[in-house]
Amino acid sequence: LKHANCTEITLSVTEFDDQIVMFVKDNGKGFDHETLRGGGLGLRNMEERTRTLNGHLMIESDEDGTSIEVIIPL
């Protein structure tokens, strides 16, 4: 939200097959995830916290926005 310059955000949190699934999508300007790797604390914190919970983090971003899915086993 801070950097995305978006006008819409979709957020869902569900329980499925003994997992918590969180999905966030925006219609912002997107970013190059590989370029930011190691530079931004926000993304690094998300990755570390997900890993600590034995979860999986998927980030996709392009000029049409960004989507983030976090899957955490219960």
Which residues touch 64 (CB under 8 Å, ≥6 apart)? Answer: 27, 30
- The domains located in the chain, with CATH, are 9-73 (3.30.565.10)
pLDDT recorded at residue 49: 96
Fill in the amino acid letter for 4. Answer: A
Q: What is the pLDDT of residues 2-50, one digit of tens each?
A: 678 889 999 999 999 999 999 999 999 888 766 655 556 788 899 999 9
Degrees, nearest 5: CA angle 71-73-74? 130
Residue 34: predicted pLDDT: 66
